[in-house]
A and B are shown apart, each in its own frame.
Chain A
Amino acid sequence: MNTIIHHLSLLVQMSGVANLTLGNVIMILVSLTLVYLAIFKGFEPLLLLPIGFGAFLANLPLSNVIGPDGLLTLIYSVGVSTEVLPTMMFMVIGALTDFGPLLANPSTFLMGAAAQFGVFAALLIATALGFNLAEAGAIGIIGGADGPTAIFTASKLAPHLLGPIAVAAYTYMSLVPLIQPPIMRLMTTKKERATVMKQLRPVSKRERIIFPIAISIITALLLPQAIALIGTMMLGNIIRESGVTERLSKTLQNEMCNIVTILLAASVGATMEAGNFLSLSTLKIVTLGLVAFSFSTFGGMLLGKLFYILSGGRVNPLIGSAGVSAVPMAARVSQVEGQRANKNNFLLMHAMGPNVAGVLGTAMAAGVLISLLK
């Protein structure tokens, strides 16, 4: 009889019920909130759903998807810690991105730089709040509005903050249509927002092929630390633009994109274990993410205004806010705001220039911060 009771008590001790902690319950609720936002509110579902469910699996009591032999921990160790998956994601982004609008109007490169203002504002505030410089740099990159870059930078500078940084980055990226418009309206007059821009010139195939080669060379010469991100992005882009590797381009844009997204998002989600995630730091990071996004929008708009003045009113300042690299959402926001002021205003293609420049700008900023702070 005693043996039976002993074994029953052992079974109870080994059950999930006996090992369920308050932290687990809170994190399960947080993860299910992410799943809810993804499925029912459409917030970046391709990313928030696997992140949310990865976090959900990691927080189930005695979950063996994490830990030394856990699947998601193994994927994280092999794919994220080694930077393989974030850089592969950049190859995918290169294959998905049409740099034509940027090539047609290269001056918008500068708007992509100005919209990195939030990265540095958040870095300063994070330092003031007590984060060390490496952590502050990783948090600041949220302001670039580029998920893979945020993951790449955090895995290099502050791996212990990866979970909250990734969640903050992707959540705010999905909230771009809510965060940006008030700042855009605050910084512009209706007349400025109504500015109709001249149609972009067509871009030749030769330019499109020279672009990835030129950008890779410039990056290698100026900032070799960023070549892992920008070089792989340019590889994806030349595969897209060459016109002779359609199969590879389609694979990058579809199968590879989906596989990398699932592995990256689920394994990052699994880092949101209660012990790591439930802390004051997470709350600070989430708040700093919002600050970073707002300042990035502000920086982009500021340069947009400058362009408006210098061009004699020919550049709509709204395209400046698209310099944050949430592609194409930030460009769509410029389009919507422009059209709200003037029904005949079509800014989407103009805003795509700063938008893709923002991707390059964020990768550059990440490269600089990693080289200075690692």
Chain B
Amino acid sequence: MSSDFVGMGGALTVCLIALSIVFIALAIMAGVISLVGRLAGDKNGIPEATTSPSAITATVQSSDDEDQEIAAVVMGALSAELSRVDGQVKLAAGQSSSWRLASLQEAVKRGRLK
């Protein structure tokens, strides 16, 4: 088949044919995989076996609100545990009211805040 393509004109034809085929093939793959994702994705799928550290990082960093909530819960848990030692609960000052609320809720859940 190579004899059909000669010189710059042949090169241009090869490029156009090849680039079109690559795009079409990958577009079909994208379509089929999307379909498979819809049919076999969320309904009966077995969850991910492993999650990469970068994915975890991305999850944690994906939303500031989530960050705040997680930090608040951790703080609440820490406060509750610390209260076992010195009998006092110390919640960080300077945070927003919702942050303090989430923190307090966690502490209450752990039964150390009275």
Chain A interface, >50% SS class: helix
Q: 3 shortest A-B CB distances, which residue pairs?
A: A204-B45, A109-B30, A120-B15
A345's nearest neighbour on chain B, judged by CB, is: B61
Give the residue among B31, B45, B59 with the most A Cβ atoms within 10 A: B45
Chain A 108-121 near chain B by CB (<8 Å), digits 1 or 0: 01101110110110
Number of interface residues of A (CB under 8 A): 59
Chain B 46-81 near chain A by CB (<8 Å), digits 1 or 0: 111100101101110110100000000000000000
Query: Bound state CA distance, A198 and B61, in angstroms?
Result: 11
Answer yes or no: A315 CB below 8 A from chain B CBs.
no
Answer yes or no: B108 CB below 8 A from chain A CBs.
no
Answer yes or no: B1 CB below 8 A from chain A CBs.
yes
B8 and A364 contacting across the interface, CB-CB below 8 Å: no
B58 and A372 contacting across the interface, CB-CB below 8 Å: no
Answer yes or no: A369 CB below 8 A from chain B CBs.
yes
**Which B positions have Cβ atoms within 8 angstroms of A?**
1-2, 5-8, 10-12, 14-15, 17-19, 21-34, 36-37, 40-42, 44-49, 52, 54-55, 57-59, 61-62, 64
B23 and A110 contacting across the interface, CB-CB below 8 Å: yes
Q: How far is the CB of A336 from chain B (nearest CB, A)?
A: 13
B34's nearest neighbour on chain A, judged by CB, is: A106
**B49 cross-chain contacts in A, Cβ below 8 A:** 205, 243
A207 and B2 contacting across the interface, CB-CB below 8 Å: no
A113 and B14 contacting across the interface, CB-CB below 8 Å: no
Contact residues of A between 91 and 108, Cβ < 8 Å to B:
98, 100, 102-104, 106-107
A104's nearest neighbour on chain B, judged by CB, is: B37
A206 and B58 contacting across the interface, CB-CB below 8 Å: no
Contact of B33 among A103, A205, A223, A361 (CB under 8 A): A103
The answer to whether A133 and B25 touch (CB under 8 A), given A102-B33, A123-B14, A207-B37, is no
**B24 cross-chain contacts in A, Cβ below 8 A:** 222
B30 and A123 contacting across the interface, CB-CB below 8 Å: no
Selecting from A19-27, A40-48, A69-77, A211-219, the interface stretch reads A211-219
Q: How far is the CB of A240 from chain B (nearest CB, A)?
A: 11
Chain B interface, >50% SS class: helix
**B54 cross-chain contacts in A, Cβ below 8 A:** 346, 348-349
Answer yes or no: A265 CB below 8 A from chain B CBs.
no
**Which A positions have Cβ atoms within 8 angstroms of B?**
98, 100, 102-104, 106-107, 109-110, 112-114, 116-117, 119-120, 123-124, 127-128, 133-134, 136-137, 196, 198-207, 210-211, 214-215, 218-219, 222-223, 243, 344, 346, 348-349, 357, 360-361, 364-365, 368-369, 371-374
Query: Bound state CA distance, A98 and B59, in angstroms?
Result: 18
Give the residue among A116, A128, A365, A372 with the most B Cβ atoms within 10 A: A372
A199 and B40 contacting across the interface, CB-CB below 8 Å: no
The answer to whether A222 and B21 touch (CB under 8 A), given A133-B5, A361-B26, is yes
Q: How far is the CB of A74 from chain B (nearest CB, A)?
A: 30
A217's nearest neighbour on chain B, judged by CB, is: B32
Q: List 19 A-B contacts (CB under 8 A).
A: A109-B26, A113-B23, A119-B18, A127-B7, A136-B11, A198-B62, A200-B55, A204-B40, A204-B45, A206-B44, A207-B33, A207-B40, A207-B41, A346-B58, A349-B58, A368-B17, A372-B2, A372-B5, A372-B18
**A207 cross-chain contacts in B, Cβ below 8 A:** 33, 36-37, 40-41, 45
**A123 cross-chain contacts in B, Cβ below 8 A:** 11, 14-15
A219 and B1 contacting across the interface, CB-CB below 8 Å: no
Query: Bound state CA distance, A105 and B42, in angstroms?
Result: 14
B11 and A133 contacting across the interface, CB-CB below 8 Å: yes
A121's nearest neighbour on chain B, judged by CB, is: B15
B22 and A206 contacting across the interface, CB-CB below 8 Å: no
Contact of B18 among A196, A214, A369 (CB under 8 A): A369
B36 and A357 contacting across the interface, CB-CB below 8 Å: no
Query: Bound state CA distance, A199 and B58, in angstroms?
Result: 7
B46 and A109 contacting across the interface, CB-CB below 8 Å: no
Query: Bound state CA distance, A243 and B18, in angstroms?
Result: 36
Q: How far is the CB of A345 from chain B (nearest CB, A)?
A: 9
B29 and A215 contacting across the interface, CB-CB below 8 Å: yes
B55 and A214 contacting across the interface, CB-CB below 8 Å: no
Query: Bound state CA distance, A110 and B29, in angstroms?
Result: 9
A368 and B26 contacting across the interface, CB-CB below 8 Å: no
The answer to whether A206 and B27 touch (CB under 8 A), given A123-B14, A214-B33, A373-B2, is no
**B2 cross-chain contacts in A, Cβ below 8 A:** 133-134, 372-374
